[in-house]
């Protein structure tokens, strides 16, 4: 039987207020504001469980460990800030991918990642805190 703990609430709360995919590290930092003693194992345990419950889903990106975001969003992509590492949600998509597909291949989906500098990192010369 599932039990409602302060840790679980803090972890889910991190995703609800972030509005962007979070790494386990980011989740830990956010959750520690509410439950200072929370540990990394609990973060991983809860992320794993929330994925099984289809509350969260993984966001895979090239050459980096996965982030996680609330499940059930409409089709979207992400912008990766190379300065601070944050991942941002990007709405909209291009319909023209199909014409890039080689002949005889069956296109089932696509991953698009934009990268550069986010608004909070451009004015500064150091990663935003």
Partner DNA sequence: ATGCTAATGATAACGCGTTTTCATTTTCGA
Partner DNA sequence: TCGAAAATGAAAACGCGTTATCATTAGCAT
Binding site for a copy of itself (CB under 8 A): 58, 60-63, 66, 77, 79, 81-82, 88, 90-94, 96-97, 99-119, 122
Question: Least separation, in Å, of the C-beta of 9 and DNA?
Answer: 8
Size of the site for DNA (CB under 7 A): 24
63 binds DNA (CB under 7 A): no
Question: By CB neighbour count within 10 A (0-12 exposed, 13-18 middle, 19+ buried), where does 78 fall?
Answer: buried
1 binds DNA (CB under 7 A): yes
Return left, alpha or beta for 27; rule: phi > 0 is left, psi -120 to 50 is alpha, else beta: alpha
Closest CA to 41 of 7, 64, 68, 12: 7
Which residue is associated with the tokens 């150091």? 126
116 binds DNA (CB under 7 A): no
Applying CB under 7 A, which residues contact DNA? 1-8, 23-24, 35, 37-42, 44-48, 65-66
């Amino acid at each position: 039987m599932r039990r409602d703990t302060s840790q679980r609430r803090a972890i889910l709360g991190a995703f609800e207020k972030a509005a962007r995919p979070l790494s386990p590290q980011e989740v830990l930092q956010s959750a520690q504001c509410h439950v200072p003693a929370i540990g990394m194992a609990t973060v991983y345990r809860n992320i794993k469980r929330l994925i099984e419950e289809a509350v969260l889903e993984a966001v895979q990106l090239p050459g980096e460990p996965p982030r996680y975001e609330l499940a059930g969003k409409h089709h979207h992509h992400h912008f990766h800030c190379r300065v601070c590492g944050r991942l941002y949600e990007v709405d909209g998509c291009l319909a023209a991918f199909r014409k890039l597909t080689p002949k005889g291949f069956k296109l089932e989906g696509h991953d698009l990642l934009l990268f550069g500098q986010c608004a909070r990192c451009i004015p500064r010369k150091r990663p935003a805190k």
